[in-house]
Amino acid sequence: MRLGLFFSVLMTLAVIVSPTPAQEAKQSEREAMYHRYLDFASYVKGGSIQPHWMADASNAPTIDSNGKLGSEASVLGNGRGLAEVIVLVRDLEAARDVWRDMLGFTFPSRGGGVDTLPSGLKLSGTKFEENYLELRAIDDREKAARLRPRSVEFLEKHEGAQLILLDVSSAKSTAAFLQMRGFKVSEGPVGRVVYFKDSELLTGAAIPATTQILPTWVVVFVEYPPDPKGYMPKPEERQHANTAKGIKSVWIAVTDLKAATKAYESVGLPVGEKRRLPQLGAIGREIKAGQGVILLLQPTSHSGKVAKFLEERGEGIMGISIEVSRLMTARKLLQMNTKRKFTPYGGPYGRSILIPAQITHGVWVEMFQRR
């Protein structure tokens, strides 16, 4: 059973946060948008939505993976953190052809390796040493419109990355951790996935926010079994022609870097390094997510790539950084397959090349070799 198919049948916990009384007037202005993203039926079995005041959790106690209070605990427990990125595409076979034959990632050949989901979507993925990238497309539009309306709406506008999955050691402990920080937890029958809605819009995510700057994409805390049968990739499935090792960073374009950083920090994800990214026309701040990072990006130039992304799409997942063993190999392969030139530059994680979103079906991809 593939990871995406396995994820689709997990029972869930819903972590829910509603606006404070002072925010109710502002909330009414967003009512239509709020309900447009009310997609919990497709993610949560047995959960419910309940209003709750979001407390200031700056000094909240923490809970370890066993559900006990502790000063060293993390919202991830002992989980791996960054586990999966899901990219929505309009034509799954065409997208796989690009990622496999042009970019050099290992995907099944045409006609094979595609899973269909009960929600009306279909998927195919590529596996790395510690995480996974999944392409999803619509299989049954009528069913998807009913069960995954946000995915359908997303694809009507554009292709690109929509979902980040963070691995936790215990969904129950993560829910307790968030509850201790003032977030309302609504439980389904058996908890394996944790969701929340922020103080302004329902995002279906597990990253609570006290502000409205978080984008309407989904971040989910997931408790995976230690070794689900049929999931653990074979060695050859993790070998890529471009020498890719794994996703190390997911980029999120935001309009207010300081506020976004504070919002992520409020859920218990540690703040990391400050970054300057002239190749994107942006400054950034890392949010530590276990084995990877979420990189928040704010534009410094009106003509830069991040500014253009925000102008065209609004806040959301813009790109990913993938570590490779040999950048020269990856670059040579790309230039041969795309007939384009990729000029190396000094990126935040090492010598890098940047692949435009127009090639990859909507998501910027940075390949880098560590210094």
pLDDT digits (tens, 9 = 90+) for 306-344: 999 999 999 999 999 999 999 999 999 999 999 999 999
User: Residue 101 carries which DSSP code?
Assistant: I
Strand stretches in the chain, DSSP E: 13-16, 81-88, 115-116, 121-127, 132-138, 160-167, 184-187, 193-195, 218-222, 244-253, 271-277, 282-289, 292-299, 316-324, 345-346, 350-355, 364-370
In angstroms, rounded to a whole number, what is the distance separating the alpha carbons of residues 94 and 362? 13
As beta bridge partners, residue 13 has 187, 194
In angstroms, rounded to a whole number, what is the distance separating the alpha carbons of residues 182 and 332? 51
Residue range 48-60: average pLDDT?
A: 28
As beta bridge partners, residue 295 has 251, 286
Is 39's pLDDT higher than 60? no
User: Residue 205 carries which DSSP code?
Assistant: B
With respect to residue 279, please indicate whether it lies within any of the assigned structural domains.
Answer: yes
Least confident residue range of 100-104, 142-146, 154-158, 194-198: 194-198
With respect to residue 146, please indicate whether it lies within any of the assigned structural domains.
Answer: no
Give the β-pairing of 316-324 and 244-253. antiparallel
The count of domains in the chain is 1
Q: Are 150 and 204 within 8 A, CB to CB?
A: yes
Q: Which two tokens stand for residue 313?
A: 């799409």
Q: Which domain holds residue 359?
A: 239-370
Burial class (CB in 10 A: 0-12, 13-18, 19+), 300: middle
What's the Cα-to-Cα distance from 264 to each of 65, 112, 285, 294, 345, rounded to whole Å?
20, 39, 11, 10, 29
Closest CA to 321 of 247, 252, 245: 247
Percentage, residues of the chain above pLDDT 90: 49
As beta bridge partners, residue 63 has 69
**pLDDT one-digit tens code per residue, 195-210:** 443 322 222 333 333 3
Residue 298 maps to which CATH number? Answer: 3.10.180.10
The order of strands in the sheet holding 115-116 is 115-116, 121-127, 132-138, 81-88, 160-167, 218-222, 193-195, 13-16, 184-187
Instruction: Look at 188 and 293; give whichever has higher pLDDT.
Output: 293
Alpha carbon distance, N-terminus to C-terminus of the chain: 37
With respect to residue 292, please indicate whether it lies within any of the assigned structural domains.
Answer: yes
With respect to residue 149, please indicate whether it lies within any of the assigned structural domains.
Answer: no
With respect to residue 282, please indicate whether it lies within any of the assigned structural domains.
Answer: yes
In angstroms, rounded to a whole number, what is the distance separating the alpha carbons of residues 366 and 43? 30
Q: Are 299 and 293 within 8 A, CB to CB?
A: no
Least confident residue range of 19-23, 38-42, 74-78, 144-148: 38-42
Residue range 45-70: average pLDDT?
A: 35
Per-residue model confidence (pLDDT) at position 150: 87
With respect to residue 122, please indicate whether it lies within any of the assigned structural domains.
Answer: no
Q: How many CA atoms lie within 13 A of 97 on its CB side?
A: 7
With respect to residue 245, please indicate whether it lies within any of the assigned structural domains.
Answer: yes
With respect to residue 213, please indicate whether it lies within any of the assigned structural domains.
Answer: no
Q: Residue 331: count other Cβ atoms within 10 Å of its Cβ.
A: 21
Closest CA to 126 of 142, 109, 139: 109
Per-residue model confidence (pLDDT) at position 38: 28
Closest CA to 131 of 219, 238, 287: 238
Is 62's pLDDT higher than 70? no
Per-residue model confidence (pLDDT) at position 308: 97
**pLDDT one-digit tens code per residue, 96-118:** 999 999 999 998 877 778 989 88
In which region does residue 283 sit, left (phi positive, over 0), alpha (psi from -120 to 50) or beta (all else)? beta
